[in-house]
Amino acid sequence: MRILYLSSVLPKRSETFVYKEVLGLQSLGLDVGVGSLYPPEKNLGEEALDRMAAGAETVYEAGTGQLLRDALSFSIRHPLRAFGVMARAKMDALFAADLKLRDRPKVVFQGLAALAFARRVEAHRYTHLHVHMAHSAATIGMYAARALGIPFSFTGHAADLFRERCLLKQKLRRAAFVACISEWHRNWYQTICPRPATEYPVIRCGVTVPAAPLPSRTAPTLALLGLGRLVPKKGFDLLIEACRILSGEAFACTIAGDGPEMPRLKELASGLPVTFVGAVANRDVPALLAGADIFVLPCQIGKDGDRDGIPVVLMEAMAHGLCAVSGDLPTIRELIRNDESGCLVSPGDPQALAKCLLQLAKDPELRGKLARRGRQRVEEEFSSAKNLDRLVSVFTAYHKQ
């Protein structure tokens, strides 16, 4: 097998689960190349990521003129394949139910982009194309795989499925298989396009479980940590409101990450013991976790329908042995079992969040028990090693058919 991974931006600081999956497969001896719709992020602080960024084949970086020339070159070399791709793109643009009117012409251009991308990677003779993110990246990946005459598969996550959905039914029907990050995702896909369960395998976005958990802190001030992209669905506004409710207690809160909500959140946090540290490199996350007593990510469903799958950062915190608190969403229940491996609170309810945090603040024994069971839950179901094995098995089984 020679597998080509494609995503919107690969590598990307905030999507550790994608580049870690590539690196994990490569460490197991698989031949895995990388493609990126847009220029990959560079200088991420790790040599392996610098090499990945340098070797990524991009779709749009060279400009529209070069894209059209490469699409024409591919069409001259493979006229029947190119005709088939463009005919399918035009039919999708006309008849797909989940496309807005303004986006329909874009699908035809994405067909051309797929031909250009196929021209740039065809010399590598890939045998499979796998896409992370079910929106534009999967559209181009689906057409590029058809141009190359190879199967494609994809992993859907969150905004790509809910806020930016496009051609989802077509992708579910045409994919060789669809990697499901949760049982909830699998069941939801089945309502859109029923397929055998083996073609919707559950493959978690796993994390590395450290050999030992972080040592317990003994500081008198309770340290709360929130980490993630500063967007509404993460619920950092709820965390700040909970901090305001708890303002008489001895605690400090750190919020790490960047995003469009930063100015509003800083204004909400005015006068509170809340510190914003901005974007954090993945290598620096363990140090942040080591300074915390409770990890808090009160996920909720955004007004635009956007929601999280199972946030990788929650898994990382639990793997390091931190007690985790999050929003009670169906996907997150697969990771955190309330009052067993962490705590879940009603989405959008800062009072409930404050009550939960106060209980945990006053009961270090309960925090320790939840932290131990949370780490065990990650080891059992969400470890990178276990889920990479699942993914390799799916790739191998498909290519033995």
Can you list the positions of beta strands (E) in 66-159? 128-132, 152-155
User: Could you read off the pLDDT of 79-109 as tens digits, one per residue?
Assistant: 999 999 999 999 999 999 999 899 999 999 9
Do 25 and 32 form a contact (C-beta atoms < 8 A)? Answer: yes
Q: Are residues 129 and 257 located together in one domain of the fold? A: no
Residues 308, 374, single domain; the answer is yes
pTM over 0.85: yes
What's the mean pLDDT in 308-324? 94
Mapping DSSP to helix (H, G, I), strand (E, B) and coil, where does residue 34 land?
Answer: strand
Residue 401 has pLDDT above 70, yes or no: no
Q: List all residues 6 or more positions away from 376 whose beta carbon is below 8 Å from its beta carbon.
A: 341
pLDDT recorded at residue 303: 84
Compare 15 and 84 and report the one with higher pLDDT.
Answer: 84
pLDDT of 43: 87
245 pLDDT more than 70: yes
Q: Are residues 167 and 255 in the same domain?
A: no
32/152 same-domain check: yes
Residues 253 and 276 occupy one common structural domain: yes
- 270 and 194: one domain? no
Q: Give, in order, the Cα–Cα distances in Å from 219 to each of 142, 264, 342.
A: 53, 30, 21
Q: Domain of residue 130: give its range.
A: 2-206+383-400
Question: Considering the domain boundaries, does residue 216 fall inside one?
Answer: no
- Which of 112, 103, 105 is CA-nearest to residue 67? 112
In terms of domains, do 153 and 9 share one? yes
Question: Are 58 and 12 part of one and the same domain?
Answer: yes
Residue 214 in any domain: the answer is no
Q: Which two tokens stand for residue 74?
A: 């591919």
363 with 388, same domain: the answer is no
Please indicate, yes or no, whether residues 172 and 270 belong to a single structural domain of this protein.
no
Q: Is residue 215 part of a domain?
A: no
Q: Is 301 exposed, middle or buried (0-12, 13-18, 19+ CB in 10 A)?
A: middle
Same structural domain, 258 and 346:
yes
CATH number of the domain encompassing residue 194: 3.40.50.2000
Q: Is the peptide bond before 11 cis (omega within 30 degrees of 0)?
A: yes
Q: For 180-239, what is each residue's pLDDT tens digit?
A: 999 999 999 999 999 999 999 999 998 999 999 999 888 889 999 999 999 999 999 999
Please indicate, yes or no, if residue 319 is contained in any of the structural domains. yes
Domain total of the chain: 2
Domain presence at residue 213: no
